[in-house]
Amino acid sequence: MNAVVESGVIRQHLIDPEICIRCNTCEATCPVGAITHDDRNYVVRAEVCNSCMACISPCPTGSIDNWRTVPVVRAYSIEEQLGWDELPAELSADELAAEGVTDLAPEAPPAPATAPVEAGTEPAFSSAQVGATLPPWSAAHAYTNLYGPKAAEKSLTATVVGNVRVTEVGKDYDTHHIVLDFGAMPFPVLEGQSIGVLPPGTDDKGRPHHARQYSIASPRNGERPGYNNVSLTIKRVLEDHQGRPVRGVASNYMCDLQVGDKVQVIGPFGTSFLMPNHPRSSIVMICTGTGSAPMRAMTEWRRRLRQSGKFEGGKLMLFFGARTKEELPYFGPLTNLPKDFIDINLAFSRTPDAPKRYVQDLMRERAADLGPLLKEAYFYVCGLKAMEEGVVLALRDIAQQAGLHWDDTAAALKREGRLHLETY
């Protein structure tokens, strides 16, 4: 049967009857006999298909590569599928909830693959020298500090409406996708902005914990479009940057929250790490680990715009690093985005028997495509501090290969609000 995502939910494999040409290749290829047909449609038996993907590449049309999340008890029968003229829409969260499905696993990223910092023959690297402090000219206006020590309201109470572990249990990394709802209270956000969480209690000196900042992983109109909520990607911190055991206060607090719990938040924060909104503007996103959160937000916003059919997007390129494939919960959903929508490059630094690959290696491989983008695209870097320098050096090499003068290019990137670095 199709892969069970959560108990009672499957990703059901379906064939798009509008695109399929009934060539029978899939049926002939399927090793388990899950595909059958009548005079009208080719269909997949949900209870037989084991998602082995053998049928995907032989399909001449691409109609084979369609998937719907459905409760296992409501999987589309072959009789239903045989009657279709087009694929049904994805079930909405409400429809799934009506079937008792509430905790769909959404996307969120885990552990980083960071490049080692190159020992300095160059003058000491400073991100402030290259990173822009101004947003792109077409950025939307960002509200900031609506809640905080200096605002009228010191904090806002948000309600947890979702908390899902998105890395496999048993892996070293425990990353959660958490959705916070603000009810009737204003908390307008843009992609790239962040939010502060106030963990309850006091530190070992008896002072209240200071706020911890998290990038927002959802687009401006909500994790669910039209709802006053945001999603966060939070990795449970169990060791510090040097590998010493330490229990992160806020991340552990957040990861342990139950649906319905209340959380005190402040913000929003951020006025420059914002996406361009003009037609045909291109975005290059470079990230590791949970640094993917703002990239998810921007990608999802562009995806929604594209779906609306009313916006002409530019190129989207993503360079995403993790230690291994297994640590990439975004992996599945990411690769399902069409190639003409987003150009995805994944680097794994710890795949056994494979050489280490970092995001900057991937960037150098794609120099031919990145070179021209240096002149007009908007670059976003998010992840561990250590990646900054490697990424900027890669950009420098790419610029030089493309025959661009790096100092001028870097100055333009900064001046025009086209290179944004957010690292921790």
Partner 1 sequence: MSAINYSEKIPNNVNLAEDRTLQRALEQWQPNFISWWDDMGPDGSTDYDVYLRTAVSVDPQGWASFGHVKMRDYRWGIFLNPGDANREIHFGDHKGEKAWTDVPGEHRANLRRIIVTQGDTEPASVEQQRHLGLTAPSMYDLRNLFQINVEEGRHLWAMVYLLHKHFGRDGREEAEALLDRRSGDENNPRILGAFNEATPDWLSFFMFTYFTDRDGKFQLCALAESAFDPLARTTKFMLTEEAHHMFVGESGVSRVIQRTCAAMNELKTDDVGKLRAAGVIDLPTIQRYLNFHYSVTIDLFGADQSSNAATFYSSGLKGRFEEGKRTDDHVLKGQTYKVLEVQNGQLVEKEVPMLNALNEVLRDDYIKDSVAGVERWNKVIEKAGIPLRLKVPHKAFHRNIGALAGVKVSPEGRPVSEAEWKEKVAQWLPTDDDRAFVASLMGRVVEPGKFANWIAPPVMGINRQPVDFEYVRFN
The Cα–Cα gap between 420 and 132 comes to 6
Q: Closest distance between partner 1 and the C-beta of residue 337, in Å?
A: 10
Q: Figure out which of the listed residues 40, 154, 210, 405 binds partner 1, where binding follows CB under 8 A.
A: 40
Q: Figure out which of the listed residues 4, 53, 73, 98 binds partner 1, where binding follows CB under 8 A.
A: 53
21 binds partner 1 (CB under 8 A): yes
Q: Extract the tokens encoding 43.
A: 């269909």
407 binds partner 1 (CB under 8 A): no
Query: How many Cβ atoms sit within 10 Å of the Cβ of residue 423?
Result: 19
Which positions from 238 to 277 touch partner 1 by CB under 8 A, shown as an x/- string?
----------------------------------------
Q: Figure out which of the listed residues 11, 22, 171, 304 binds partner 1, where binding follows CB under 8 A.
A: 22
For partner 1, which stretch binds (CB under 8 A), given 58-66, 89-97, 140-148, 188-196?
Answer: 58-66
HSE at residue 371, side-chain half, CA atoms within 13 A, is 14
55 binds partner 1 (CB under 8 A): yes
Which positions from 325 to 354 touch partner 1 by CB under 8 A, shown as an x/- string?
-------------xxx--------------
Q: Closest distance between partner 1 and the C-beta of residue 63, in Å?
A: 9
- At 40, the amino acid letter reads R
392-401 — which CB contacts under 8 Å span 24+ positions? Answer: 392/125, 392/127, 392/130, 393/118, 393/360, 394/360, 394/363, 394/364, 395/363, 395/370, 395/419, 397/364, 397/367, 398/363, 398/364, 398/367, 398/370, 398/371, 398/374, 399/371, 399/374, 401/367, 401/371
60 binds partner 1 (CB under 8 A): yes
The Cα–Cα gap between 182 and 156 comes to 8
- Give Rg (Cα) of the chain: 23
# binding residues, partner 1 (CB under 8 A): 25
Nearer to partner 1, 18 or 407 (CB): 18
54 binds partner 1 (CB under 8 A): yes
Concatenate the DSSP letters of all residues of 217-266 into one string. Answer: -S-TTTTTTTSSEEEEEEEPP-B-TTS-B---HHHHHHHT--TT-EEEEE
Q: Extract the tokens encoding 219.
A: 């687009």
Pick from 270, 275, 188: which is nearest to 229 by CA? Answer: 188
Q: Figure out which of the listed residues 57, 121, 258, 308 binds partner 1, where binding follows CB under 8 A.
A: 57
The Cα–Cα gap between 193 and 191 comes to 6
Q: Which of residues 64-93 bind partner 1 (CB under 8 A)?
A: 85
- List helix spans (H) across 68-204: 78-82, 93-98, 127-130
Q: Closest distance between partner 1 and the C-beta of residue 328, in Å?
A: 19
The one-character DSSP state at 53 is -
372 binds partner 1 (CB under 8 A): no
Q: Figure out which of the listed residues 33, 47, 58, 333 binds partner 1, where binding follows CB under 8 A.
A: 58
**Contact criterion met (CB below 8 Å) for 377 and 314:** yes
**Contact criterion met (CB below 8 Å) for 363 and 140:** no
62 binds partner 1 (CB under 8 A): yes
The Cα–Cα gap between 347 and 319 comes to 7
Q: Extract the tokens encoding 394.
A: 């890669």
280 binds partner 1 (CB under 8 A): no
Q: Figure out which of the listed residues 7, 39, 120, 206 binds partner 1, where binding follows CB under 8 A.
A: 39
Q: Closest distance between partner 1 and the C-beta of residue 50, in Å?
A: 13
411 binds partner 1 (CB under 8 A): no
368 binds partner 1 (CB under 8 A): no
Q: Extract the tokens encoding 341.
A: 């929508």
Q: Which of residues 114-143 bind partner 1 (CB under 8 A)?
A: none
Nearer to partner 1, 7 or 57 (CB): 57
29 binds partner 1 (CB under 8 A): yes
Nearer to partner 1, 101 or 373 (CB): 373
185 binds partner 1 (CB under 8 A): no
Binding site for partner 1 (CB under 8 A): 18-19, 21-25, 28-29, 39-40, 53-62, 85, 338-340
